[in-house]
Amino acid sequence: MRYRKGSIVISETHDVPLLLLVRNAGYITHEQLIALSGYDKSQSSVCNFLWRIRRLLVGGFVALLQRKIDGHKVYSITRKGLAELESFGHMLSSLNPETTSIGQPSKMTHYLELNEIRLTLKRHRLLDSWLSDIEVCSENLLTEDRYVKDYDALAMLRVGDRQLQCAIEYERTTKSLARYAEIRQALSQEQTLNAILYIVREVERLFLVAEQLTGAHPGILFVTASAFLRFGRDAYAMRSLSVGGTLEELLVQLASEAHPVEIPSPHNWPVP
């Protein structure tokens, strides 16, 4: 097959995984993209990554935010990038080239911090696979609400020789008591998941969220973002205001209590 001179040919093996990471993350820093894409720190590997991301930028498949965030370059997907992914069969009901708005700048910090949560799970070898919020939303649209809400992420966690299908909810701001009552009602109906992990920005908010949602789901856990990002599996977490332990200990408890749940087909669960 001949290609027009100067055109950029997208590799399904090397370029598509990068485009998927950028699309699914919403926004992602340069360093997060390197870490999640599996490139090591050798000079040849870093040079390979830089060459590929430059091609995607020049080709208009990925956009670079005009300003750095805390000193970091930030990438997002473009309509051309979405169309290219669709040509390889990677379509989402919740996001496509015809979507009115493909970026949510107001949620950028939320997305970047979710990437750090994902990386922490990966570093501590707790993560088997990950679905972002737009993937969860797409799944709900296709299955008439398989899950009771569009979670921030769904993670398949590895706990010893067991797997836990776990929703990730990242609370950066406090909601109203009425809204927490609605969430509590929704979570009480969740039958597809083994666990729901609430990662809360501040200690004060942690106790508020735990007070409002304890018992909403048998597998609900609460942990502060600062402890989780610093200690990972060893972070102090709670099942209720009076029951706590390390996150790993509580996950082991849930794994021993968990009933089998229907696991989505493997193609819907990308590697971490």
For 153-164, how does the pLDDT look when each residue is reduced to its tens digit (9 = 90+)?
999 999 998 999
Give me the amino acid identity at 180: Y
What's the rounded mean pLDDT across residues 14-21?
A: 96
Q: CB-based contacts of 138: which residues, under 8 Å, 6+ apart?
A: 92, 93, 94, 95
Pair of tokens at residue 64: 């670079």
Q: What percentage of residues in the chain have a pLDDT greater than 70?
A: 92
Q: Is 231 helix (H, G, I), strand (E, B) or coil?
A: helix
- Dihedral of CA 25/27/31/33: which sign? positive
Which candidate, 114, 161, 159, places its Cα nearest to that of 134? 114
Pair of tokens at residue 141: 């649209």
Which candidate, 222, 219, 205, places its Cα nearest to that of 253? 219
Q: CB-based contacts of 200: which residues, under 8 Å, 6+ apart?
A: 171, 206, 209, 222, 223, 224, 225
| 207 close to 236: Cβ distance less than 8 angstroms | no
- How does pLDDT run across 37-86, given as a tens digit for each residue? 988 878 888 899 999 999 999 999 999 999 999 999 999 999 999 999 99
- Give the separation between CA 241 and CA 227, rounded to whole angstroms: 17
- Dihedral of CA 161/168/171/90: which sign? positive
- Give the separation between CA 95 and CA 76, rounded to whole angstroms: 13
- How does pLDDT run across 221-243, given as a tens digit for each residue? 999 999 999 999 999 999 999 99
- Dihedral of CA 9/11/17/20: which sign? positive
Flag whether pLDDT at 185 surpasses 60: yes
Residue-range domains of the chain with CATH: 1-103 (1.10.10.10), 106-272 (no CATH)
Pair of tokens at residue 134: 């737009």
- Give the separation between CA 250 and CA 253, rounded to whole angstroms: 5
pTM, to two decimals: 0.90
- How does pLDDT run across 102-126, given as a tens digit for each residue? 778 889 999 999 999 999 999 999 9
